[in-house]
């Protein structure tokens, strides 16, 4: 444990070394995220509701996805370096050390500039909560926390899934970005607006709707759909196939000639 | 103890001709070639042995070492290192081994060496006292005290290699894997590394698996040599046995004053320079002492040296014999 904390601190130190660049990156993250916020705002200047969801409710959805994405990506985004480590055989070194493989790959690339996105998400959440017209109860607050936390885990799993493909293809599969960077964009709206089929895929294949659409329904519609409240927890099952793929990948690892 | 039982490993390598057109073609249909990297490899290494593992590039050396380190999973066969299967019990297995890849660093590049060592201490969850003791000992033996505060990227290759070896031994592994530890080092550093490895083996009884192309390393260190070619173990024995397998020839070089002695039967002239003569002979036919007596009787000898065929030549002859 001490080792990972130190590795983490080492990485933070080296990212902070160029202070100006670090703060500019954070600011950049913060500012660019505004564009997607405004695109939602402008659409709602023309219409009152999307698929029955009001402006405040869509903003809530937006904030949840933004928060969970920024956490998931800060932690797991560094796994994008994994295909290079596999190709060059750098992963050898990690395999010859005791300790968790994923943590050893991830921590040196933990991206602290994502804090900009996180702050933006928090601000949007602050705007959305009073505007959503939701009668807040203890259960709904718990649901909101579950959405963000499970969502972050889910995004992390998607980065891990994408990285694990490098064992088989020697390169990352860019199309999987649809579910990471793509989901951050189209997750601004409740997934039901994209039609039944998309909702099915996002329920049963890549369970993003379990942390977004269904619990949102519960918060908006209230007690009748209390079962939706715990669906975010169910989405955590997605860890199983991701981890299995990674494990299978290790046994297929070919290293690089040396 | 390390045990290899009928280990096989194949790689699937995509074949592609050079050129842009073929690159495009390979996007749609790709031909694969199966390369047999290890073909029924079996051997056993006892505790405290230094094994010299030799073979030309692409013979399967690295693959063997990577299987032993838990990096690669073989297709079939079994491997036990200290009673554990490397790829199945990876985490507990790697605590007992140290690995030095000559071409790859295990130090964190931008931080002082001592910081890297402390990270390793935490990774291996070492007690502070044990760490201090090992660090002091390694720093003394490898003369590191001046280097510890320098970032790894500012070290010379020889200095870095000394630090790498120390890093791999901090946790007192039972088995040490050295992959080309002297590659690119100057003569002084090479000798320092060799002396150190010898010392570690004697004092700690560490098993060492040494892969190298430098036959001087083998000559200086290896108790036993394994020769691999085309994924198969071709020879297994001491360097002496390998030499005898290749040739029993002795080389006599003399310096003399006066007239050049005649080279009599049983001796073969190798080189004749001014006041210096080199002959080869087979001691089974003509004993060395008889040959020297014969030469001495014809001229005044200033100096005599008798040598075997060099390790370098043994290996060249073996590679040729096995067509690897």
Task: Tell me the chain A residues in contact with residue B85 when contact means C-beta distances shorter than 8 Å.
Answer: none
Return the pLDDT at A31.
84
Please say if the pLDDT value at position B86 is more than 80. Answer: yes
Q: Would A39 be classed as within a structural domain?
A: no
Whose tokens are 């997605």? That residue is A238
**Which of B58, B94, B179 has its CB closest to that of A97?**
B94
Task: Tell me the chain A residues in contact with residue B101 when contact means C-beta distances shorter than 8 Å.
Answer: 92-93, 258
**Band of pLDDT at residue B136, cut at 50, 70 and 90:** very high
Give the tens place of pLDDT for each residue, A71-107: 999 888 888 888 888 888 888 889 999 888 988 888 8
Return the pLDDT at B214.
86
Give the tens place of pLDDT for each residue, B209-237: 999 888 888 989 999 999 998 889 988 99
Rounded percentage of chain B residues whose pLDDT exceeds 70 = 100
What mean pLDDT do residues B132-159 have?
A: 90
Please say if the pLDDT value at position B254 is more than 60. Answer: yes
Return the pLDDT at B269.
86
DSSP B282: -
Return the pLDDT at A183.
87
**Cβ-defined contact of B91 to A96 (cutoff 8 Å):** no
**Band of pLDDT at residue B192, cut at 50, 70 and 90:** confident
Taking the CA of residue A24 and the nearest CA in chain B, the distance in Å comes to 23
Which residues of A make CB contacts under 8 Å with B?
A: 2-3, 6-7, 10, 14, 89-90, 92-93, 95-99, 250-255, 257-258
Phi and psi of B142, rounded to 5°?
A: -100, 5
Q: Would A42 be classed as within a structural domain?
A: no
B101 touches chain A (CB under 8 A): yes
What mean pLDDT do residues B70-93 have?
A: 92
B1 touches chain A (CB under 8 A): no
Please give the Cα distance from B90 to B73 (Å, whole number).
11
Residues listed for chain A: 258
Q: Would A27 be classed as within a structural domain?
A: no
Please say if the pLDDT value at position B247 is more than 80. Answer: no
Taking the CA of residue B127 and the nearest CA in chain A, the distance in Å comes to 13
Q: Would A60 be classed as within a structural domain?
A: yes
Please give the Cα distance from B200 to B178 (Å, whole number).
13
Contacts of residue A244, Cβ cutoff 8 Å, sequence gap at least 6: none
**Which of B11, B91, B124 has its CB closest to that of A254?**
B11
What mean pLDDT do residues B95-101 have?
A: 91
**What are the angstrom distances between the C-alpha of A164 and each of A153, A159, A225, A251, B89?**
16, 9, 36, 12, 20
Q: What is the CATH number of domain B45-244?
A: 3.40.50.300
DSSP B98: E
SS (H, E, C) A39-51: HHHHHHHHCCEEC
Return the pLDDT at B172.
92
Nearest to residue A189, comparing CAs of A53, A69, A28, A17?
A53
Task: Tell me the chain B residues in contact with residue A257 when contact means C-beta distances shorter than 8 Å.
Answer: 58, 62
Task: Tell me the chain A residues in contact with residue B87 when contact means C-beta distances shorter than 8 Å.
Answer: 251
**Cβ-defined contact of B73 to A251 (cutoff 8 Å):** yes
Please say if the pLDDT value at position A258 is more than 60. Answer: no
**Which of A7, A96, A258 has its CB closest to that of B70?**
A96
Q: Are B189 and B31 in contact (CB under 8 A)?
A: no
Please say if the pLDDT value at position B285 is more than 90. Answer: no
**Cβ-defined contact of B73 to A6 (cutoff 8 Å):** no
- B 50-89 → A contacts, CB under 8 A: 58, 62, 66, 69-73, 87
Please give the Cα distance from A245 to B308 (Å, whole number).
56
Q: Are B4 and B77 in contact (CB under 8 A)?
A: yes
What mean pLDDT do residues A164-183 have?
A: 81
Return the pLDDT at A224.
67
Cα angle value B101/B104/B110 (rounded, 5°) = 135
Q: Provide the H-helix boundaries in chain A.
A: 2-16, 19-46, 55-76, 82-88, 91-95, 101-106, 115-131, 138-164, 166-169, 181-186, 196-204, 213-221, 231-235, 239-252
How many structural domains are present in chain A?
1
In terms of pLDDT, which residue wins out, B136 or B247?
Answer: B136
**Cβ-defined contact of B123 to A93 (cutoff 8 Å):** no
B111 touches chain A (CB under 8 A): yes
Please give the Cα distance from B48 to B223 (Å, whole number).
10
Please say if the pLDDT value at position A257 is more than 70. Answer: no
Structural domain containing residue A208: 53-252
Q: Would A26 be classed as within a structural domain?
A: no
Q: Would A11 be classed as within a structural domain?
A: no
Return the pLDDT at A223.
66
B213 touches chain A (CB under 8 A): no
Write out the two tokens for A178: 């649809």
Please say if the pLDDT value at position A160 is more than 80. Answer: yes
Return the pLDDT at A172.
67
Task: Tell me the chain A residues in contact with residue B70 when contact means C-beta distances shorter than 8 Å.
Answer: 95-96
Return the pLDDT at B7.
92
**Cβ-defined contact of B104 to A96 (cutoff 8 Å):** no
Please say if the pLDDT value at position B170 is more than 70. Answer: yes
Domain ranges for chain B: 45-244, 248-308
**Band of pLDDT at residue A254, cut at 50, 70 and 90:** confident
Please say if the pLDDT value at position B206 is more than 60. Answer: yes
């Amino acid at each position: 444990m001490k080792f990972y904390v130190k590795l983490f601190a080492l990485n933070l130190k080296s990212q902070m070394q160029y202070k100006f660049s670090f703060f500019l990156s954070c600011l950049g993250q913060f500012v660019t995220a505004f564009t997607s916020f405004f695109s939602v705002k402008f659409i709602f200047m023309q219409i009152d509701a999307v698929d029955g969801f009001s402006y405040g409710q869509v903003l809530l959805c937006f904030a949840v996805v933004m928060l969970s994405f920024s956490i998931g990506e800060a932690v797991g985004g560094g796994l994008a370096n994994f295909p290079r480590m596999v190709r060059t055989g750098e992963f050898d070194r990690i395999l010859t050390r005791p300790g968790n493989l994923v943590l050893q790959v991830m921590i040196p690339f933990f991206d602290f500039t994502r804090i900009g996105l996180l702050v933006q998400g928090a601000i949007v959440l602050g705007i959305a909560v009073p505007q959503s017209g939701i009668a807040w109860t203890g259960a709904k607050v718990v649901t909101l926390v579950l959405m963000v936390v499970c969502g972050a885990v889910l995004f992390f799993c998607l980065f891990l899934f994408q990285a694990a493909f490098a064992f088989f293809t020697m390169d990352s599969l860019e199309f999987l970005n649809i579910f990471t960077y793509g989901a951050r964009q189209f997750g601004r709206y409740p997934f039901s607006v994209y039609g039944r089929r998309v909702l099915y895929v996002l329920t049963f294949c890549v369970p993003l709707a379990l942390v977004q659409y269904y619990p949102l329904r519960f918060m908006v519609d209230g007690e009748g759909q209390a079962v939706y409240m715990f669906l975010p927890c169910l989405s955590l099952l997605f860890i199983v196939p991701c981890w299995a793929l990674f494990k299978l990948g290790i046994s297929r690892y070919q290293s690089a000639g040396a | 103890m390390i045990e290899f039982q009928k280990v096989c490993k194949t790689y699937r390598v995509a074949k592609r001709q050079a050129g842009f057109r073929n690159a495009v073609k390979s996007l749609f249909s790709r031909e694969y070639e199966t390369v047999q990297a290890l073909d029924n490899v079996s051997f056993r290494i006892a505790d405290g042995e230094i094994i010299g593992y030799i073979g030309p590039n692409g013979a399967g050396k690295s693959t063997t070492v990577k299987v032993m380190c838990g990096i690669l999973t073989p297709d079939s066969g079994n491997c036990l290192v200290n009673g554990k299967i490397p790829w199945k019990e990876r985490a507990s297995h790697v605590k007992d081994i140290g690995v030095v890849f000559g071409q790859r660093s295990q130090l964190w590049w931008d931080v002082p060496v001592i910081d890297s060592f402390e990270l390793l201490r935490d990774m291996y969850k070492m007690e502070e006292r044990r760490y201090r003791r090992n660090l002091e000992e390694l720093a003394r033996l490898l003369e590191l005290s001046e280097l510890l505060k320098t970032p790894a990227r500012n070290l010379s290759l020889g200095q870095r290699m000394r630090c790498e070896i120390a890093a791999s031994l901090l946790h007192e592994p039972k088995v040490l894997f050295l992959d080309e530890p002297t590659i690119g080092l100057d003569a002084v550093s090479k000798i320092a590394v060799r002396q150190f490895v010898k010392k570690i083996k004697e004092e700690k009884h560490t098993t060492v698996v040494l892969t190298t192309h430098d036959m001087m390393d083998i000559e200086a260190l290896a108790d036993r040599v394994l020769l691999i070619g085309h994924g198969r173990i071709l020879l297994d024995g001491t360097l002496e046995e390998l030499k005898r397998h290749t040739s029993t020839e002795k080389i006599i070089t003399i310096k003399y004053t006066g007239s050049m002695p005649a080279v009599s039967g049983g001796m073969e002239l190798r080189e004749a320079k001014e006041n210096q003569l080199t002959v080869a002979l087979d001691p089974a036919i003509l004993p060395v002492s008889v040959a020297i007596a014969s030469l001495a009787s014809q001229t005044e000898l200033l100096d005599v040296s008798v040598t075997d065929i060099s390790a370098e030549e043994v290996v060249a002859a073996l590679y040729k014999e096995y067509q690897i």
